[in-house]
Structure 1
Amino acid sequence: MNGKYSLPVVKAVDLIWSSFDKEEIRRGYAMLMQEAQQGGADALCFIARCFMGEEYVWSGAGFATDDANASMLMQKSALMGSATGVLCAVRSGNFTPAVQRGMPFASFKDAFEEILGQAERGNAFCCYMIGNVYYWGDYLLVEPDLAKQFKTENKYNAWAYPIAKEWYERSFKGHICAGWGNYCNIKESGLCVIKNNVYESYFRALAEISPLICNNYGCYIRGKVEPEVVFSYYMKAAQRGDLQAMVNAGSCYDEGYGVGEDTDMAFQYYEIAAIGGHPDAQWQVGYYYFDGWGSIEVDYAKAAQWFEKAYRNPKSGRKNKVRSVAYLGICYRMGLGVVQDDDVALEYLQEAEEDIDMLWHPIDSMVLDALGGENPSTL
């Protein structure tokens, strides 16, 4: 309840949420730990955010998700009088009745006004949090009577989004990128006018800060500019550790898009992303080993291992699961890199058959032939 962050917290937040540099992030985290040991309630809140997953901190920072520890720290922060802790507790589902009773604020509104004061004085992270309060509807905890004016969520959003937009833009000017996804959603909603030139100006600026946004900007301009420009954004993001950018850069090398075709370079980027846990990259590496591309020799054992990783990866989309399980089924059916097992093969192949339209020739034919079904390529 100090009304402002300590200087070490201000510096630490800047390092963790603006640098996108693993060493600088760790330096910022050490500063937060030191502040927390000295009783800093705000520091506890920001430490908690580090363990709440990629919605709260850059995935490339290397923090392991620990929901239980994060909840404990977040609630403790709010109970110790951190207005940031209160706002983040509401947003993360940690604003329990016990926290509401025990916090030293008379109401959520008091905590909101403390953060609002810091935002108005130019703190970019506070600007982001105020934007969130409006965007997510938490402002109805500030002014409960407003709920009577909005009969639907859409009507609330039509009122709140223009306000959230302004606060997010102020946060962008302070190099805080965390609100970009919500800002994009506001634009796409049609409930708030964001001119294309304004949108693209912020997009370009934030692409120079965040590897994630840098990759997304490359996707955004694809087809609008020269392929070499698109590739340059993928490469900048990949070199700063963005896994999706590595996959995109690998795809460019695969296709010769914006760069000379080079299957070996493509594999290098796919492999780095695969080791980092990207599900599509894991399938790509398996595919390279299964068929043998460029200087990569056929290695069915490695192929099966990577297909298994891609299939089991909780981040795999349905298409990636289907193509991974299809190749796994073939591996087990034919004993390629694994001990031949008809029962396991049948289980995998039947799962692949459920979405056979997602596959292509010849793998769709191989699946159906292995199952003794009708081959779509012969129809």
Structure 2
Amino acid sequence: MEIIYKLEDFPNPGDRELSQGIREINNTNYQDALRYFEKSIRYGNEYALLFAGVIYLSGFGLQDRDPPKAVSLFKKAAAEYQNWYAHYLVGVIYTEGDVGVLKSNPYGTAWMTVAAKRGWYDAMAHLGVAFHERDKAMFWLRKVVENDNNPNGLIEDGPVYLFGNQMFLLNTNRVKKQIIDSIRTDRCSNLISPVKCLRVDLAISQCDDTRHIMLWDVLSTKKSSNVAVCQLFIASIYLDEDQYYRPDYNSGMYWLKKAAKNGSATGCLSIGLLYERGNGVEQNYVEAMEWFRKAYEIGGNPETTFRIGNLYYHGDGVERDCKMALFYFQEMVDLVDDGEAYGAMGYIYRSGKDGVPKDEDKAYECFAKAAENGVATAATEIGMRYKEGLNVKKDLKKAYDWYEKGALMGCPLAQYGLGTIFLEGAYQGEVDLDRAMEWFIKSDKGGFDLAGFMIQEVEKLRR
């Protein structure tokens, strides 16, 4: 990545130092760059304030980040030079909060509103997402999506400039296509501010080089910035239901397809889910799979991987193929610890179908992982194994512990299992009809039919 800045023939005071600072950024010498920017600031250079503020905000080349120092520099640029991008930066830092900067939505919104009224689309996007009032949100979101200048493909950006100033051209010709695509994918489904970009929990920030490039990309102004995200939010407004509005699936689908056209994996996934569930459209698993595959090709959304695996697992829209399902579920859990995916893998290994060898040990491991991630039925599966001695040594204490985990997570079958343990006196050697009845009642309320019969049996024993 390179910031291209050409000095005028007759530069203003501080411009030479600004130019030298930018040269040091291009060489990733951020400490040296900061020294030049601070010299330039002493000459009264407007954009040296922004560049220095970005370095303090990011902490690149420094021992620690210093958001309060960054805010003071951005405020100076806003006050002394009426720099509207500086207004946006102050606004987003206060809206989201940062180290040493107390979060204040009203204060941050006031700063961003000034920038938005001056035409800064990043500020408009953040305001559109922040407002809970439907009309206010729509007002700003629609202004951003007006930048969608290509009805049949990706938005044509043209040259990209930092801070919206044509003096600072952002050249990414030497950046690997994989990195550019990764950043674009992330920004097409998530509203990423400079503050969010710098948080360590953002997946893309695991690579420092990518994070540096992404920060400068976020600080640039281009037509495609946040358009797909705003289209997603407009879709969500139409699809949500509250006391005043019913879902408008036609409008929601229209805007989801707009976002999908602009490279949003979340847009593709959301369309697939509407078809899979039959929400606002006729249920169509084939169509759902097509949209899930589009989202998968774009990347960046692990849930897509699970949805494809789930269709293969159940044979919905495709011929059932547990081997293919297992491939996608495994890919999912390699990305994130997902209880549902682990649970499905457990059932596949337990049944051993479609070319997948039966493997009780792997099934147990997957059920245990699923239970750790909050899947009640998986805890119940393990409880049943220990109670009956299925492929494990019979252990009523462990059976009780696993049933209890599933029962407390609301699984009716686990609640039934606990009831049988207390009824039979299988754990600690004592029959406890009261506790058995307690768990059978909970299981019955949860819809497990056999529990109703057991309630009658306990009542007979009480007589």
CA shift at 1:280, angstroms? 0.9
Q: CA shift at 1:192, angstroms?
A: 7.3
For residue 308 of structure 2, the aligned residue among 246, 249, 255 is: 249
Counterpart for residue 163 of structure 1: 136
108 and 203 in structure 1: CA distance in 2 versus 1, 3 angstrom threshold: closer
One-letter amino acid matched to 2:268? C
**1:253–1:262 contact (8 Å) kept in structure 2:** yes
1:234 to 292, 301, 304: 292
Aligned to 1:129: 126
Shift of the 368–233 alpha-carbon distance from structure 1 to 2, 3 Å rule, reads farther
Give the aligned CA root-mean-square deviation in angstroms: 4.2
Give the aligned length. Answer: 289
User: Tell me, what secondary structure is at the counterpart of 1:297?
Assistant: coil
Give the conservation status (yes or no) of the 8 Å contact 2:97–2:103. no
SS of aligned partner of 1:286: helix
Contact 1:86–1:95 under 8 Å retained in 2 = no
- Name the CA distance, whole Å, in 1 between partners of 2:250 and 2:369: 42
- In the superposition, the TM-score normalised over structure 1's length comes to 0.61
- Give the secondary-structure state (helix, strand or coil) at the position aligned to 1:162: helix
Q: Is the 8 A contact 2:232 2:255 kept in 1?
A: no
Letter in 2 for 1:231: M
In 2 relative to 1, CA 377–291 (structure 1 residues): closer, same or farther, beyond 3 Å? farther
In 2 relative to 1, CA 327–86 (structure 1 residues): closer, same or farther, beyond 3 Å?
Answer: farther
Is 2:351–2:358's contact at 8 Å kept on the other side of the alignment?
yes
Q: Distance in 2 between matches of 1:235 and 1:42?
A: 42
Q: Pick which of 294-303 and 282-291 moved more.
A: 294-303
Q: Determine if contact 1:74/1:88 at 8 Å carries over to the other structure.
A: no
- Structure-to-structure mapping, 1:189-268, within 5 angstroms: 189=242, 197-208=250-261, 209-222=263-276, 223=278, 224-225=281-282, 226-239=284-297, 240-268=299-327
TM-score (norm 2): 0.51
Richer in helix (by share):
1
Q: Which residue of 2 aligns with 1:91?
A: 95
110 and 205 in structure 1: CA distance in 2 versus 1, 3 angstrom threshold = closer
Cα distance, 1:197 vs. partner? 4.4
Deviates more, 1:74-83 or 1:232-241: 74-83
Equivalent-residue separation in structure 2 for 1:356 and 1:196 (angstroms) = 32
**Per-residue deviation at 1:218?**
0.8
Whether the aligned pair in 1 keeps the contact of 2:265 and 2:294 (CA below 8 Å) is: yes
- CA-CA distance at 1:245 after TM superposition: 1.7
Contact 1:128 1:179 in 2 (8 A): yes
Q: Is the 8 A contact 1:329 1:345 kept in 2?
A: yes
Asked if 1 retains the 8 angstrom alpha-carbon contact of 2:289 and 2:311, the reply is yes
Q: Contact conserved, 2:383 with 2:403, CA < 8 A, in 1?
A: yes
How big is the shift at 1:84?
A: 4.0
Cα distance, 1:229 vs structure 2? 1.7
Encode CA deviations 1:326-367: one digit per residue, 9 max, x unaligned. 1232344456676765433311112323466555xxx88767
- From the CA coordinates, give the structure whose radius of gyration is larger: 2
Q: For 1:56-92, what per-residue CA distance to the aligned partner results, in whole angstroms no more than 9, with x for missing partners? A: xxxxxxxxxxxxx9xx665554344254443333333
Q: Which has the higher contact order (CA 8 A, sep 6+)?
A: 1
Question: Whole-Å Cα distance in 2 between the matches of residues 127 and 93 of structure 1?
Answer: 18
> For residues 46 and 219 of structure 1, what CA distance do their matches in structure 2 show?
39
| Change beyond 3 A, Cα 1:200–1:175 | farther
**Matched residue of 1:259: which SS?**
coil
Name which of 183, 186, 193 aligns with 2:237: 186
Q: Separation in 2 of the partners of 1:162 and 1:193?
A: 15
1:203 is displaced (CA, Å) by: 0.8
The CA distance in 1 between the partners of 2:326 and 2:3, in whole Å, is 43
Paired AA for residue 163 in structure 1:
K
- Tell me the residue number matched to 1:309: 369
